[in-house]
Chain A
């Protein structure tokens, strides 16, 4: 399940970037680009949130929760 979610989220990321390259090479039009990027966005967020919810996250924040300064720029 974890592997499937990982693969699907990577496909989501690919659908976020690749359509813009295809548009540059005139392989798709802007309506298709918008559609593909929206699908990529939904896929990425749904799969990543499911992954974080169902499985223990592996990333550990290097930030002190209360005392450090956020990067905002």
Chain B
């Protein structure tokens, strides 16, 4: 298909993937508020809150860290991502192609696809813990990095197969179902938190802090060895979605916004999903510890303990509606690497990789580290867009739209990206520094290196 044909096709589908979104296609603010509130109450929330508790984060640190970190995330969406999106009105990939070239975007896409597969794998594990309840499946415990039973493997394979096949067949039906499920899932999270509070039997904040500390003590079999405090929680909350805000993936969303101020809509996602839902999930684990001394942060039984069947279904739906689009996009990324390959088979391959990853509970237990790594690797590409926009294009959208296509592989972008990311991954692996501290320095370093390396390559008009 020629570029002109692609542009016409994307315009007729109403998605404008290869051209700036025209004025008549812009959307009102309430769509963005609803979308963010729904999309950030996902399967991962069931894991992240409990992992904070197991890492010994005090109640005060979790509340303050999440308040500040989420605020910084919202400000990043509002003042870094949304202003560029509302002027340039391009998808991340189209915008990046014009700077970095198609070849380099394929590599970025591949990195995205591989990371998505492992994230989807963790979500398949989450769903399997709920599906396994009626079958009396032995639940994997925090110490289990490998599969702990045959029944766990069989259920993960079954769940993964369904998710992979459905994702391969298409995206629209699952996306519609996810939209329907979102408001209900948000309320189930809230209900879970309220019921967990009741089960904890606390009457005031002091009582809650005492029960929380006891839960940490029991979970760690003594005083916690963890170093997670306020700064860890704050940086994690700020950068767990680094790829979306400072990483500019949400250019694809805000290009439909009438004004950059729609970036405030991200606060709905942060304070519903990454505040209320995380704390609710953590309270569910605290309640489970109090009731039966079980410190396993397995989402299915935790949700079952508080609200019964609705909780089990919520875990399955949250895991499924998260894993499904993730596998679908991973498939598209793989397909883009092999010209002429079938989307069905590429998506199925992504689903198989995700399912194999799901067999290993380690990916779910190490979700905090994985999410930090995900931001560290992908977010710096957003710095390329940010620095190019303000230093090379001077904020002029016409300059970007009329620019000659970038060469297939912009080496300035490649080196600006891999040098800080390589150094960060090395330090995460060898120095044991938490991954969520790296997206910010990598982002800044990537932007500065890009300016240095591309100093003499001014964008040329077409």
Contacts and interface: CB of A to CB of B under 8 A. Distances in A.
Contacts of A37: 188, 191, 307-310
Contacts of A23: 194-195, 198
A68 B248 CA distance: 10
Interface stretch (B56-64, B174-182, B448-456): B174-182
Contacts of B116: 72
A3 B48 CA distance: 38
Contact of B329 (A21, A24, A48, A70): A70
Given A37-B310, A63-B252, A73 B180 contact: no
Interface in B319-344: 322, 325-326, 329, 332
Given A67-B17, A70-B326, A73-B42, A40 B35 contact: no
Interface in B10-39: 13-17, 27, 31-32, 34-36, 39
Given A13-B183, A16-B191, A24-B194, A66 B17 contact: yes
B386 interface: no
Interface stretch (B239-247, B403-411, B438-446): B239-247
A52 B198 CA distance: 36
B383 interface: no
Contacts of A48: 180
| Chain B contact surface mostly | helix
Interface in A39-73: 40-41, 44-45, 48-49, 52, 57, 59-73
Given A34-B308, A37-B307, A64-B252, A71 B244 contact: yes
Interface of B: 13-17, 27, 31-32, 34-36, 39-40, 42, 44, 48, 91-94, 112, 116, 119, 123, 171-172, 175-176, 179-181, 183-184, 187-188, 190-192, 194-195, 197-198, 240-241, 243-244, 249-250, 252-253, 256, 269, 274, 307-310, 313, 322, 325-326, 329, 332, 371
7 contacts: A13-B184, A37-B191, A57-B176, A62-B27, A65-B15, A69-B244, A69-B252
Interface of A: 12-13, 16-17, 19-21, 23-24, 30, 33-34, 37-38, 40-41, 44-45, 48-49, 52, 57, 59-73
